[in-house]
Each structure stands twice: as structure tokens, then as C-alpha cells.
Structure 1
């Protein structure tokens, strides 16, 4: 019985092997995906270093891109990397072994200092679908103001504040001849060095200043007509008498729930002040004010109700401040 059982098992195993080999022979063999012909984008010189160039220049360079693959190369979108670059390609397709040319034009006006840009080319190359090209160099100006931005941060509205900038020139012996500004809250003054040279400019604020931040353009002319006018931007933020938090109150339009709203008034240029009155919209049942540490005043408005509030209404705080006698905090009703 043992021999019969053994022969039966061997027969079944042999039949299984034959069937498996037969099925394998009948199954068509698909070509491996990795062996399909594909494109391959390469560039012998993918980096362009343009050296040191003046900011008035417009420069060009051509990259040669080759298809080193075995299928046609198809180029899609080209990302120039910045608004100063314009790219043009003579052909968007390249047969295996052929090349295409990509021309890059850079407008450097308004640029200064080291420049690093990456141009990315989308294609059907499976290995590098976004092929990078690199542009490096340094842009210089024959003359500029340093710093190019005069920042007045949280200055007092009733006091004059000044910032000094200097003329930096590659040409020796250049002086500031005159300067002007388009802002009624700024003025300019030339300041000479001990050797008589005039390369320093003082920008000052003219009080009283507005409460909101503002900017002003300063135009500087030198005694060298070849240089042309230089530009300087002044940015001014004014320290308010007080700062109010929050600046806006938001309520749900349909809510029937009563909301407690706290408003904090922080001292700024005014270290001491008094709240004379708080005018609240319909729906607020009580108001309380109290002094906290560091001169902060807290205003608590009780039982604000969205369904009874007035859209675009305000909470009005009346103070004894000189410039901020009334402080309006708008109310916005959300759907």
C-alpha cells in the first residue's frame, strides 16, 4: 500500500509540473517597463556664472540641451525662476542624439548683490522630469545709498526723528548735490564730512505725524551727471498714543447666546489716560472698566447678543487723549 501511495503522489506532482509549464508557455511575455526606450536630457554646462555686471545691463546666455536617450525628448513648461528672466527655446522636441538651444535674457535693473537663480525645465525624461539650470553672478551699481531703506519704527508722533544714509560710489570724488522727498512728513538735510566731502544724507520726520504707517520716496542727485538720480525709500510707523486689542469684534449673526467681550487698551506714547465713556450697541447690557498692571485698561462689555447687534456698528470708547479722543472698534456679524 505504501508503494502505491508513493507512486500516486509522484504522478500527481509530475502532472502539476507539466500543467504549470504549459500555462507558462501560453502566457505572452510583456516587455519590461524598465527596458522601454526613453528620453534623457543632459547639458554639458548646466551652470552659467556671469561674473560681476552693472545693474544697467541686459545680459544673455544660451544653454545647449541634448537628448541622450533613445526616444524623442518633449519639453513642457519652463520655469525661469524670477521676473527678471526671459527664456526662449528654439525647439520643444529633440530626436535621440540631437540638441535644442535655450536662450536666457536677464534684465538686471533694480538688482544688487549676489544673484542665484534656478531655471527648471519640465520634460518627458523619466529620470529628471524637472531638469535644473543654474545662473550665478554679482550685480553692482556705480552708486547707491546705503541703506537703501530708511526705516522709522514706532516713532513718536510729536517728535522729530532722523535716520542717516550714506552715498556709496565706485567712482572717486562723487558728492551728494541735492535731495528731495515727496512726503509732507519728511525732510532731507545734507551733512558734510570733516574733509569737506558730502556723502551723508539725513532724513527726518516732521511732526505731528499721522497715526497710520506711511512711506515716502527720496530722490538723491549727485554732482556727477553720468550717474543719474538715486532712489531711497523711507518707511515710517508711528507709536500710537494707545494700542487697542482687539481691533475688531466678530459675532455670529443668528446666535442667541450672550457673549462677554473684553477690550484691552495698552499705553503707547501716552503713559497715562482716562476712559471717559464707553458707547455700546444694542444688545449689550453692562460695561465695566478697570485698570490693570503696566497701565493697561480693561473694558468688559457684557451680554453682547449677535441677533440684536447692528452689523457694521461700533463700540466707541471716549478718552482724554490728545489725538485719540474717540476709539471706534467695529462689529462684524458673521453668517
Structure 2
């Protein structure tokens, strides 16, 4: 064998040895984590207000690298999260414990925790804690009074008040405005009450935002405040009382598929006999107004449509004047608002 052949073979062998030595370094990839949550929803059933709620969600790492919990986002106040360990080893398990303070919540609850981790195939997981918190004192159907009345035709609403605590409750008095008449009846002494709220005859037309207060013998919280939303309507009224197009973009209103956003509707109604609309006038040339029906009625649908070809950037503020045959309400004015950008 010639010396040159020997040298070539030695060089080739050396290259193969070097390549074999570095091949694992070139092709090897770092071990990756893989996060799994077998049960991502926990229903705690029904608990009394103030009772603690806690659940540990098990996190499994089915990968070959460590799984690190890097953050958590909570969907509602009163929730806390504890993670142990923060780094779950390969093929190991950890726990994300979610706690809920029920002191200030009531009714159906669904809280979510969005956790983030370093799994490159899945950025995180969503954990759900749900159930029902029984309030100490429940007010049904909701803790508010909504009344829609006429000046000469009062309206009435009833609420059921349930005491869910072992100690009996006594309602000693009710505080409210002169526009309301309120009574409370014991259905089940100390436990269930019926509150009846009625608007007073002769209250001037308008919207009133006020409240009523139940004074009780409950230690540490003897007052229960309920908002009252009272709308006293005139005998002929518009609903809604104004037309608002919000903010529109020029490029949108010129498209043929957005005609719905260019039309708003209100109703003109009268308590009692039918009346006629004799004319409808708007002080904006960019607005078309139509009514239905055309003849006498005690309820009219009035459609307000923006004319796309006449619109210009700026304010759409205007007034719609509806003339009627009702001598008490010969003209009803409806404000129109909006902005075109």
C-alpha cells in the first residue's frame, strides 16, 4: 500500500470519528414539557354565603422536560390561586389550588382561572370553578324594583324576600320616597316576606332613579337598600324616547350590506283610544322617516333611516317632530343623535 493511500484512509477515518463524536450534539433537541389537566371544571354544588370554597386541580407533566407555571389570570374578584410546585418535573404531578371567597357573591357563580406555562404546544389551560352561593337574604326575582306607570294609572310590583339564615329576621320599617307606596307582609314569620311597591297616583311624567330601604333587626347589617327605577309615562309617549345611531364610519355606511345599522325604530303609543299621525318632520335632510300603520291606531312603529348618499362626516344631531290628532299631545319631539367619522 502506498503512503498516499494510507494517508487518505487515515484522514477519512479521522473525519468519520469526528463526525460521529459531534452528531448527537447537532441533532439532539432539549426535552420538552407537556401539560395535561384531566379535570378542568369543578362544581362545588350549593354553599351558604360566606362559606369558603377551595379545590385543587391536578396538573400532569407528560413530557420529558420540566413544566413551569408562569402566570395566572382570574376572572372575578374574591378568587385566589396557589401553585405547588411551580415547576412540575417530567412525568410528575402538581396542583393549582383555586380558592373563592363567597362573602360578597351570591347566586350562580362561574369563575375561571387561565394559567400559563412553558409547554410549546399549548400555551396554558383554563380552569373553571362553578356552583351556587345561597345568599343570607335572597330577594326574588331580583334585588331591584322596576315600575312603568302612567300619571293616572299607577303600577305595582312585588318582591319575595327570603331569610336563609338560622336566626329569624324582622323587618321593622321601610324608608322610601313620596312617589311610592310600600308594604311588607309576613308569609312565613322570620323567614319569608312579600314586599309590594306601588307608584303613587298623580306623579308627574318622567324617569326617577331612587331607592327604598328595608330596616331590619339583623346584627351588623340592619339595612337593605334596593334601587327603584320608576318611569311615569304621559298618556301619549315614545319608546325609546330618543334615537341614537352611535358612531358610524363613512366607509361602512356606503356598503350595501350594512343597511340594518342605518335604520332605528321607535314606537309611539297612547293609553286609551286610537289617534292619527298627521305629519312627521325631521330637520335633517339625511334622514327618512316612515310610519306603520298609515291609519288611526293607539300604537305606531316609526322607522328612522339614514340616507347614505346624503351623509357627511360630523354630528348627526337632529329632531324628529311627530304631529298628532291628540289635543293634549299635538306634537311629540324625538331627539336624534349620532356621529359620522
TM-score, L = length of structure 2: 0.61
Task: Specify which of 324, 336, 341 is matched with residue 330 of structure 1.
Answer: 336
Query: 1:294 is matched with which residue?
Result: 297
1:275–1:122 Cα change, 3 Å: same
Q: Is structure 2 residue 48 aligned with structure 1 residue 54?
A: yes
Separation (CA, whole Å) in 2 of partners of 1:190 and 1:221? 11
SS at match of 2:183: strand
Q: Is structure 2 residue 81 aligned with structure 1 residue 87?
A: yes
Separation (CA, whole Å) in 1 of partners of 2:123 and 2:249? 49
Matches within 5 A, 1:1-335: 37-42=31-36, 50=44, 52-57=46-51, 59-61=53-55, 63=57, 65-89=59-83, 92-96=86-90, 102-125=96-119, 129-150=123-144, 152=146, 154-170=148-164, 171=166, 173-181=168-176, 185-193=179-187, 199-207=193-201, 208=203, 210-212=205-207, 215-225=209-219, 228-237=222-231, 241-243=236-238, 247=243, 266-269=268-271, 271-273=273-275, 281=283, 291-292=294-295, 294-295=297-298, 296=300, 312-319=317-324, 320=326, 322=328, 325-330=331-336, 334=340
- Structure 1 position 306, deviation (Å): 6.0
8 Å Cα contact 1:190/1:201 also seen in 2: yes
1:333–1:321 Cα change, 3 Å: farther
Separation (CA, whole Å) in 1 of partners of 2:78 and 2:103? 9
- Structure 1 position 121, deviation (Å): 1.9
Separation (CA, whole Å) in 2 of partners of 1:242 and 1:248? 17
Separation (CA, whole Å) in 2 of partners of 1:239 and 1:166? 26
Where do 5+ consecutive residues of structure 1 fail to align?
1-27, 254-260
Separation (CA, whole Å) in 1 of partners of 2:279 and 2:140? 49
Report the more deviating stretch, 156-165 or 51-60: 51-60
- Structure 1 position 112, deviation (Å): 2.6
Where do 5+ consecutive residues of structure 2 fail to align?
1-22, 251-262
- Structure 1 position 71, deviation (Å): 0.8
TM-score, L = length of structure 1: 0.62
8 Å Cα contact 2:243/2:264 also seen in 1: no
Separation (CA, whole Å) in 1 of partners of 2:131 and 2:264? 55
- Structure 1 position 92, deviation (Å): 4.6
Report the more deviating stretch, 137-146 or 268-277: 268-277
1:223–1:31 Cα change, 3 Å: same
8 Å Cα contact 1:67/1:99 also seen in 2: yes
Separation (CA, whole Å) in 1 of partners of 2:134 and 2:36? 32
Q: Deviations for 1:24-70, whole angstroms, at most 9, x for unmatched residues?
A: xxxx999699xx73213356886655554332345555556454431
SS at match of 2:297: helix
Q: Deviations for 1:175-199, whole angstroms, at most 9, x for unmatched residues?
A: 3222224x56434212345989982
Aligned residues: 296
8 Å Cα contact 1:292/1:298 also seen in 2: no
- Structure 1 position 327, deviation (Å): 0.9
- Structure 1 position 263, deviation (Å): 9.2
8 Å Cα contact 2:139/2:160 also seen in 1: yes
8 Å Cα contact 1:143/1:227 also seen in 2: no
1:199–1:77 Cα change, 3 Å: same
1:184–1:42 Cα change, 3 Å: farther
